[in-house]
Amino acid sequence: MPNLQPYANPVYFVYLLLGLAPIVVGLLLGKRWRLYETAISLIFLFLIFDADKWQQGVALIIYVLFEVGLIFAYLKYRRKHNQTWVFVLTVCLAILPLVIVKVTPAIMAGRNSLLGFLGISYLTFKVVGMIMETRDGIIKELKLLEVLHFILFFPTISSGPIDRYRRFIKDYRQIPSQSKYLQLLEKAVWYLFLGFLYKFLLAYYFGSVLKPRVAHLALIHGGFSKYLVAYTYVYSMDLFFDFAGYSFFAVATSYLMGIETPMNFNRPFISKNIKEFWNRWHMTLSFWFRDYIYMRLVFFLMKKKLVKSKITLANLGYLTLFLIMGFWHGLTWYYIVYGLFHASAIIICDMWLRFKKKHQAHIPSNWLTKYIGIFVTFNVVCFSFLIFSGFLDKLFFK
């Protein structure tokens, strides 16, 4: 059978629609054929990780066995005990495979880890979220097949969106009414259309037609040039339409299966400031980092009274959050600078919002200031994407 990467070509969608047709019919009849859903999930995972990707498939199996064992071991422990060091150790063990995968290329001259596979980051986010909610006492009971179905949910396995266990299982356990499911089908068709428009038309135009041309011209002219400016905006559009298109496909496929996977993008380029941008861009990732890293770090620092100033507390949280996000993308200077850039941008944004609130009587707030905010935010974000792209490394250092 052919190796098919998720939503990468029309052949994948032929397999997808054929595989999902019985699920759609079943849900229209008010039935969820869980055994068939499990079989289809396994088939699509096989299609993703077969042929030359078989080593990734083996790594996925080993990873899932390790992580699921860890989840259930901690759940059993948590029913009687709640020591912090055990929780921290469990989280560290959960992220250890991801850390190994991220660090290996940096210390092994670009060689990839044998533990790596497509989607390891997003599966790790799911697992860590479950462990943290088990610690909080929110998750008290788990069923093995449901945990496996959540972790290995194939529509979102490669790049999200990142769902939460309790939300996912609520959808999985209940069958939507016919009227509700018809609404999901309508949305799914619309999202599939948007996905094709974004990924196969707009992302193709920006990424495969324009980007190579402006990149070539920018490299020929060297340094700061109008072609570098052009590359900044072309790359930003390519990044958005490619990722948003993928996310539309993932959400649409989930809807066809009766699972309301959360959206990942909400018109991010109309954000009036950088904080609003992160509430609209890659939302499931930014909300995951907010809930499981930022909020917990701030709570810990407040509880231990290590930092008295609320402003300093928030700023430390931003720096930690975005540094971790930068390192998560990769151990290269431009990913780390990207994280620091966004942390600095949010700190400056907070300063401005406090100043604006204090002097609101003297600072206008109208349609003009709104569009100025959108313009400034858009350009700040596009510049950050230029850093993220790694093109500056190629332009100035290679």
Residue numbers annotated as active site:
329
If you write DSSP's letter for every residue of 311-380 in order, what string do you get?
Answer: HHHHHHHHHHHHHHHHHHH-SSHHHHHHHHHHHHHHHHHHHHHHHHHHTTTTS--SHHHHHHHHHHHHHH
Structure tokens, 360: 């609101």
Question: What per-residue string of b and e applies to 216-253 under the rule 16 or more CB within 10 Å gives b?
Answer: eebbeeeeeeebbebbbbbbbbbbbbbbbbbbbbbbbb
Give Cα 356 distance to the centre of its chain: 32
| Single-letter amino acid code for the residue at 76 | K
The answer to whether 238 and 277 have CB atoms below 8 angstroms apart is: no
Question: What per-residue string of b and e applies to 383-393 under the rule 16 or more CB within 10 Å gives b?
Answer: bbbbbbbbbbe
CA nearest neighbour of 233 among 269, 265, 264, 263: 269
Indicate the SS3 state at residue 113. Answer: coil
Distance CA 49, CA 42 (A): 10
| Single-letter amino acid code for the residue at 232 | T
Q: Maximum Cα–Cα distance for the chain, whole Å? A: 67
The answer to whether 116 and 126 have CB atoms below 8 angstroms apart is: no
The answer to whether 149 and 38 have CB atoms below 8 angstroms apart is: yes
Give Cα 18 distance to the centre of its chain: 27
Distances (CA, A) of 302 to 163, 183, 277, 313, 347: 28, 45, 27, 8, 19
If you write DSSP's letter for every residue of 158-195 in order, what string do you get?
Answer: TT-----HHHHHHHHHSPPPHHHHHHHHHHHHHHHHHH
Give Cα 260 distance to the centre of its chain: 16
